[in-house]
Amino acid sequence: MVIRALLAVLALNAHPLHTTITELTEDRSRGMVRATIRVFADDFGKARGERPELAYVASRFTFTDRAGRSLPLHSCGTRSTGELLWICVEAASAEGLAPLRVYNVMLNDLFDDQVNVVQGTVGGARRSLLFIKGDRPKPLA
């Protein structure tokens, strides 16, 4: 047992931070809410595999309205800086972010220790949510 534990420890390599950071914004004039998800490109590539980018994101990230319906997501572009991808998705929400629930389990299918941070400003106050494997949708307000 001790030898098995030692071998398991030896198998560990440099410890990456399995985290994404998402910034939420709202555009009341267009009736849209936007999520910009910062994710390490190599991890994202492994997680989505052959699936289209938006299909993978929509399966792991949702905005849910008061009635519990997931809002359809639309891509608003992706850019890369260094090792990071900045994935932008939008959804229609006339009331902005306040009434919505957010769910973000990006890359939890790849890493058990994945932690996703979602942040936004709602009603003038800065809010933060933290998602780990098994979490449910959470209100931002």
Partner 1 sequence: MSEFLTFAQLGFRHIVDIEAMDHILFLVALAAIYRFRDARNALWVVTAFTVGHSITLALAVTGRLNLPSALIEFLIPVTIVVTGVENIVVSDRTRAPWGGRYRPLFAGVFGLVHGAGFANYLKALFVERIAVPLFGFNVGIEVGQLVVLVAAAFVLAALDRAIATFRLSNALRVRVVAVSAIVVAVGSAWAVERTPW
Residues making contact with partner 1 (CB under 8 A) = 6, 9-10, 12-19, 21, 38, 40, 81-84, 113, 115, 117, 119, 126-130, 132
**Beta-strand runs (E) in the chain:** 19-27, 32-40, 61-64, 74-81, 84-92, 101-104, 115-122, 125-131, 138-139
Return d(Cα 137, Cα 65) in angstroms, integer: 11
Q: Least distance (Å) from partner 1 to the CB of residue 32?
A: 21
Q: How far is the CB of 94 from partner 1 (least distance, A)?
A: 27
The neighbouring-strand residues paired with 40 are 84
Is 13 or 29 the residue whose CB approaches partner 1 more closely? 13
**CB of 5: closest distance to partner 1 in angstroms?**
10
